Amino acid sequence: MSKVGFIGLGIMGAPMAGHLIDGGHELFVVQHRSAPPQDLLDKGAVVCASNREVAERADVIITMVPDTPQVEAVLFGSDGVAEGLSPAKTVVDMSSIAPIETKRIAARINDLRCSYLDAPVSGGEVGAKAASLTIMVGGPEAVFEQVRPLFELMGKNITLVGGNGDGQTCKVANQIIVALTIEAVGEALVFAAKAGADPARVRQALMGGFASSRILEVHGQRMIDRSFDPGFRIALHQKDLNLALQGARSIGVSLPNTATCQELFNACTAHGGDGWDHSAMVRALEVLADHEIGQPPAG
Amino acid sequence: MSKVGFIGLGIMGAPMAGHLIDGGHELFVVQHRSAPPQDLLDKGAVVCASNREVAERADVIITMVPDTPQVEAVLFGSDGVAEGLSPAKTVVDMSSIAPIETKRIAARINDLRCSYLDAPVSGGEVGAKAASLTIMVGGPEAVFEQVRPLFELMGKNITLVGGNGDGQTCKVANQIIVALTIEAVGEALVFAAKAGADPARVRQALMGGFASSRILEVHGQRMIDRSFDPGFRIALHQKDLNLALQGARSIGVSLPNTATCQELFNACTAHGGDGWDHSAMVRALEVLADHEIGQPPAG
């Protein structure tokens, strides 16, 4: 049983923290503008007055916040985690943030004689609730092994990818592949539909071969069904592709199709779609082709 | 037992025709500049003097040639299949050619009171030899059912996608997805490698989640192993993306990432890579990033 602090009790963080307290760990949370979720309080979560106090009372402090600036604010802001840390504690950032900034953040935490893991997740709200998240970890192996029992309460595919930053790099790689595969399926189905073929039968025919993927299976079906409630919102994927494109610029990598996918997401938001599921990227391709997949074949 | 003509005994066609004769069918082939493969002759294949004679003697005539002009030449050229057809025979084109031209070709064959199926395949030389091809069929259902026993000798995933042309449309959709997914995996692994992560561990971490695909599994591993012997040659995939881009132009569809992938293939051929496996598209991204996946991490 560990003393675990959890900062960031949003759509993802709240169920993740719930699994930790269900697993028998002592949970420390913080009172922000809004109170912590009632079910966590009912289960005995201890409410602290600040992030600093969470770090003082817990041994492992997990952060799960929207982006790089929020992680920096939580850790290094006034009354922040860094002020409450004492040597041998561990900070685990499960947010999805910039890999390069992560290396700097890890170094600052290490300077306080504490350990740091970056451990972003994929699997979304469904995976957070079902404790089936994929967790991509960067950091020292010994620290990873210490924290692993906590990860196993929240996720299923848990991989130590490498040193600090490599977990975030892996998450960015994941989001590149997911966006570009959605776009690939979109191009293929829009082409097929406007050429007069039934996209549902095309999808079925392709499922057995080298074009098969989780994206063709799940997101391809969403495109055909016109089922664009999230799921994973376009606004969040835009944030992740921004991490990819800014990271690529800073390390000298060219990501031509990632750039195009970001622009297609931008086209979706121009049509009010920042809250659509990311599979709705196909709508931008449909606008370009003046043809919706769901329409009767033109041929 | 059917009388089957097979025109186009290349790397794909020869083993496919072999499966038909092994399955008990009478096989008619044609003597071109080069003799038919000796093992087909040993098994009793009947050699005809022209494509016309093949059509006269067989009931089902299969074509397996490189591209649209070759199909048109074989069918409608001098001493071609059309000259030898009589009503109620069936032409099955298993080449990968233009969907729109296919509809015109089918109409011309139908005008001769014969049936037509387009039935392109994926799975490559390995699939042709192993009789495990994916076969995507366009044409009337009754004709499909008549020919299905022949398809089952050559392939495993056999789908009637729709009417004439829809098989070829499906094949184009397949090649779009395969190329764009290779590119997606390439962008992700080049980004990860130059950011300092181990691409092999990144690939492994991603295999369980939404980024997983046959391409990440097979072609991602090829990129890491630097294993670029074909497989499927870039020159062939360029031909297929040309079908996609020309088809898209003629029906009014925009395929931005297909266009980029074709340009990246062009960059490979500029470096002598038209015979490389298509997973070597990653090399174009590596040139852009001035970093090979196989290099030691920069971080």
What digits encode the pLDDT tens for the residues A28-68? 999 877 889 999 999 999 999 999 999 999 999 999 999 99
Residue A299 scores a pLDDT above 50:
no
The predicted-structure confidence for A73-86, as pLDDT tens digits, reads as follows 999 999 999 999 99
The percent of residues in chain A predicted with pLDDT above 70, rounded, is 98
Among A181, A185, A266, most B C-beta atoms within 10 A, so best to mutate, is: A181
Assign B115 a pLDDT band (cuts: 50, 70, 90). very high
pLDDT at site A294: 79
B200–chain A nearest CA distance, Å: 9
**Which residues of chain A are within 8 Å of residue B261 when distances are taken between CB atoms?**
257
Residue B295 scores a pLDDT above 70:
no
The one catalytic residue among B89, B129, B156, B171:
B171
Among B123, B169, B254, select the one facing A285 at the smallest CB separation: B254
The one catalytic residue among A43, A103, A156, A171:
A171
Residue A201 scores a pLDDT above 90:
yes
The predicted-structure confidence for B264-281, as pLDDT tens digits, reads as follows 999 999 999 999 999 999
Overall average pLDDT of the B31-40 stretch: 88
Which tokens go with B132? 């495990």
**Which residues of chain B are within 8 Å of residue A208 when distances are taken between CB atoms?**
134, 156-157
A 10 A CB-CB count for A259 gives 16
Residues 6+ apart with CB under 8 A from A192: A199, A202, B169, B170, B172, B173
Residue B36 three-state SS: coil
Residue B253 to residue A202, Cβ atoms within 8 A = no
The predicted-structure confidence for A266-296, as pLDDT tens digits, reads as follows 999 999 999 999 999 999 999 999 999 975 5
Residue A254 to residue B103, Cβ atoms within 8 A = no
pLDDT at site B62: 98
Chain mean position to CA B48? 26
Assign B299 a pLDDT band (cuts: 50, 70, 90). very low
| Cβ contact B253:A190 at 8 Å | yes
A 10 A CB-CB count for A63 gives 23
Among A97, A253, A287, A292, most B C-beta atoms within 10 A, so best to mutate, is: A253
**Which residues of chain A are within 8 Å of residue B299 when distances are taken between CB atoms?**
103, 163, 165
Residue B88 scores a pLDDT above 70:
yes
Between A and B, how many CB-CB pairs are < 8 A?
279
Among B161, B205, B289, select the one facing A161 at the smallest CB separation: B205
| Cβ contact A255:A247 at 8 Å | no
Assign A1 a pLDDT band (cuts: 50, 70, 90). confident
pLDDT at site A48: 97
pLDDT at site B296: 53
Among A170, A192, A197, select the one facing B202 at the smallest CB separation: A170
User: Distance (Å, rounded) from C-alpha A219 to C-alpha A5?
Assistant: 36
**Which residues of chain B are within 8 Å of residue A260 when distances are taken between CB atoms?**
256-257, 260
Query: What sign does the dihedral A248-A252-A254-A260 (CA atoms) show?
Result: positive
**CA-based Rg of chain B, rounded to a whole angstrom?**
21
The predicted-structure confidence for A129-148, as pLDDT tens digits, reads as follows 999 999 999 999 999 999 99
Confirm whether B89 is a catalytic residue.
no
Overall average pLDDT of the B211-234 stretch: 95
Assign A237 a pLDDT band (cuts: 50, 70, 90). very high
User: Distance (Å, rounded) from C-alpha A53 to C-alpha A48?
Assistant: 6
Q: A92 has which bridge partners?
A: A62, A117
Overall average pLDDT of the B51-73 stretch: 97
pLDDT at site B294: 79
The owner of tokens 């290094």 is A76
Total-model pTM: 0.95
The predicted-structure confidence for A96-123, as pLDDT tens digits, reads as follows 999 999 999 999 999 999 999 999 999 9
Query: What sign does the dihedral A5-A17-A80-A100 (CA atoms) show?
Result: positive
